[in-house]
Amino acid sequence: MTHSAKIVKGGKIVIPADVRRQLGVVDGDRIVFERREDGTIVMRSHIDVVRDIQRSVRAKIKVPFTVDDFIAERRTEAERE
């Protein structure tokens, strides 16, 4: 599906309602524009970008590490000192 929008004074663009619904954004939300290697520009919701980063970080964590694990590790280190 293709949409178009007009750029008005100040560089503002009105994003078509259908696109806003698909992105799940409402007034006041942030959107992110990503320039891809092939030169295309992709518009994503800010929360979608954050979720991708969270998934990426979670994938790099080998073992689930909870706050309780962290506290236990610190206590063990304190006992060694």
CB atoms within 10 A of CB 7: 9
Tell whether 44 is covered by a domain. Answer: yes
**Is 2 part of a structural domain of the chain?**
no
Closest alpha carbon to 43 in 29, 56, 30, 31: 31
Residue 54's domain spans which residues?
7-80
Number of other CB atoms surrounding residue 46 within 10 Å: 13
Asked, for residue 17, whether it belongs to a domain, the answer is yes
Taking alpha carbons only, the member of 47, 51, 39 closest to residue 23 is 47
Number of domains in the chain: 1
Strand partners for 42: 34
pLDDT digits (tens, 9 = 90+) for 7-65: 999 999 999 999 999 989 999 999 999 999 999 999 999 999 999 999 999 888 777 77
Name the β-bridge partners of 32. Answer: 44
pTM > 0.85: yes or no: no
Is 72 within the bounds of a domain? Answer: yes
